[in-house]
Every structure is written in structure tokens, then in C-alpha cells.
Amino acid sequence: MPIYCEPILDRAASADELLLSIGGTISAADSLQAATELLARDPAETLVVIGPEVATGDALGFASALRLTRPAVGVILTRERIDVTMLTDALRAGVREVVPAGDRSALLTACDRSRELSRRQLAALPAAAAEPAPEGKIITVFAAKGGCGKTTLAVNLGVVLAAGTGKRVCVVDLDLAFGDVAISTQLDPVRTITDALPMAGHLDVTGAASLLTSYRPGLDMLLAPVGPGDVENVTPALVGELLTVLREIFDYVVVDTPPQLSDHVLAAIDASAHLVLITTPDVPALKNLRVTLDVLDLLAYPAAQRCVVLNRSDSKVGLSPEDVERVVRGPVAARIPSSRDVPVSINKGTPITLDSPRHPVSQAITRFARQYLIEAAEPASRQRRKSPRHRWQLRKAA
């Protein structure tokens, strides 16, 4: 049974009703020592909720100790007031989530997320002794020119992969300065990628899970910050570390990127099983795509990992899909038609594949996902890649 720790007994009693839907009932503890004893008597328990009357310092010390002795147990902290310093300290201590006291919906959602994470951690333990647990696939979506529909494709791919496979999917907004994933899905960016900064160098599954924002069952988002703040402190090394850990949690990680081959984007490509290059049938976008392909060749990224998606493929602008294939010197993997319904879905904050699964745009994205991302086997081997420093030396030389 989930454990609710709160020194005021009447609050602990009311918590039984509050948490009824996640555990049938709860075990109430009036102190952290009592919570520790309850955990010792129940080795299978994976959830502890700490109420607002428990001192923050004591709660963080409890979580920090529990992280070493029972890493599969999730700690949820409820507080009357939440600030950046307290959130940072909580993440460092191993608290999975901090939610406002009295917010029942937020608490239930946090508990559901924590128990699912614990389930996945425990499920991986028996296989770990025999062979490494299978890692999820990272799919990076990139366009060297803005306005091609990159974020729209990334979000809709996340929806399709989660709905069409029954797998767990995460969409990562790596456009740190101008990310639009949150606004495209009407999510409140309370937690963003910058909250990972205190955990850089020692990020684990618990820490990564605390950064996520749930969108729908099976689909979570790692959002970009809404202001400049600590954006410049997010290093390519931290991006690589995040993706490595997220691959342990999710079956698919879809990365939305800024329109430039920065070190952060290259870190994502390094970790990716698939690189989706999106373009539109206009000369500037195609020119940038051709340059991107040349740079990827120069940096020795395997061509087998890449596929080109042509957005607004039926636009009457004087360029045909065949013209696009001549520019990219290869086949186009998917052709997504134009539709006014796409900007309508963006303005509504509901991905078109979710709002209208039978729409021609939704069907094109779904076919692409099934053929190239779900059914396609990962390349058997990958070419040895150059170090990031050497990559940029090559790029400057080019």
C-alpha cells in the first residue's frame, strides 16, 4: 500500500480518501521514522507521499537515503509553497516530483507516473543479470530552415508512436531558445530541460523522470524553457546524458530541434537510431537540405539512418516531388499533403493525428511512422564517428 507520511493525524486520515484511486487504501505514517518502518515491513512497496507538515530538510534527507537503499521507491513531496531553490534541492535529493498541497489532480498524476516508473525499473532487474535491457530508439527531427513543420511533425510522430505501438514515448523539445512543443500541446512548462542542470554529470532515471510533463497515457514531454534563464548553461554533454537516460525509460524518444546543426543537435544525432529530415517544396528549404546532407556526409553520419520527409508535397509552387528527389539525390520517404486543418490543429493545441486520425495528413504521418520508424530494423552496424571537436573542425574547413 502507498505510504502517506504526515504528522497531523487528521490529514493522514483524509489522505486515505485522496489516494484511494491509486492504491485502494494507504498506510498512514505520522513520522518519517514510521514511514521507514512501514517500508521495511513491505519490500514490494514503491510509493511514499510526504505531506506538507513534514519539514523540507527532513523530507529531503529521507529521500536521499532511500535513493541508495530502495532506488525503485518513488518519493512525492507536497508543499504549500514551491520555489526554484526548493525544487532544485528536491531533485538533487532524488524526490521524483513536488506538487502543490491540496492539488488532488496533480498529486494523483504524479503518483501514477512514479508507480509506472518504479514498475519499469523493477521489470528490468531480472533481465539485467542475463543481458542488458533493450534501449529505446531515439528519433531526431531536423530541418535547416524554419517554417517547414518540424515541430508539428515531431509532436504528431509522438502521438502516432504512442497510439500505434502501445509503447512509452517521450517528445523532447531541444529548441532551447524558441521551443514550441509546450504551446503546440497547451502544456504548462512548469518543469523544463533547465531543471536538469543541478543533476548534470550524475543524472539517473529518477532525476530524468522528474523533468517530464505528461501529455496523455503513454506520451510524455520534456519541454524547452520559456525564458532565457539558464539556457546557455545547457551543454551538449547534458543533452547526451539526458537522451541516454530517457532511452532507458521510453521505447521511443522523439527529439524536436532548432534549425541549425549546433553541438546540441549533433549530440542528439549521435544518440539517434533515425534522423528525419523535413523539407518543403521551395528553393531555400531545398538548398538548406542539400547543405545539411553534405555536412552529414562530411561528418561521416551513416546515410542509412536518414530519411527525407516532404511536407506540403502537393503545393502548386512549381516544384514537384521528383524535383525534390533530384536535389536530395535519393527517394523521399513520405509526402505529407498541404491542409488548412494543420494550422487549425496547431492553434487549437491538439495534434491533427489525435484530433482527426483519418485526415490525409494524419494518414501520411502514420504510414511513415509504421514503415520507417516502427517496422524498420535499426542498422546492424554504425560507422565510427569523429569526436565533436573534430566534427566542427571539419565543418569550418568546409
pLDDT digits over 37-91, tens only?
A: 888 888 888 899 999 999 999 999 898 888 777 888 999 999 998 888 888 888 8
> What is the average pLDDT across 290-313?
91
* Average model confidence (pLDDT) across the chain: 84
Specify which of 143-147, 202-206, 267-271 reaches the highest per-range mean pLDDT: 267-271
Cell numbers 494518414 correspond to 363
pLDDT given at position 17: 47
Helices 321-328 and 283-298 cross at an angle (nearest 10°) of 30
pLDDT given at position 387: 47
pLDDT given at position 114: 87
Strand ranges (E), 226-359: 252-256, 274-279, 306-311, 334-336
Specify which of 64-78, 200-214, 329-343 reaches the highest per-range mean pLDDT: 329-343
> What is the average pLDDT across 266-287?
93
pLDDT given at position 117: 84
Rounded Cα–Cα distance for residues 47 and 63 (Å): 11
> What is the average pLDDT across 114-137?
68
Answer whether residue 264 shows pLDDT above 90: yes
For residue 150, give the nearest of 15, 307, 17, 257 by alpha carbon: 257
More confident residue, 369 or 128: 369
Query: 376 pLDDT band (50/70/90 cuts)?
Result: low
Tally of residues, the chain = 398
Least confident of 46-55, 180-189, 220-229: 220-229
Least confident of 225-234, 275-284, 370-379: 370-379
pLDDT given at position 389: 42
pLDDT given at position 181: 95
Rounded Cα–Cα distance for residues 155 and 276 (Å): 13
Give the domains, in start order, of the chain with CATH numbers: 3-128 (3.40.50.2300), 137-397 (3.40.50.300)
pLDDT given at position 132: 52
pLDDT digits over 157-168, tens only?
A: 999 999 867 789
Q: What grid cell was written down for 318?
A: 512549381
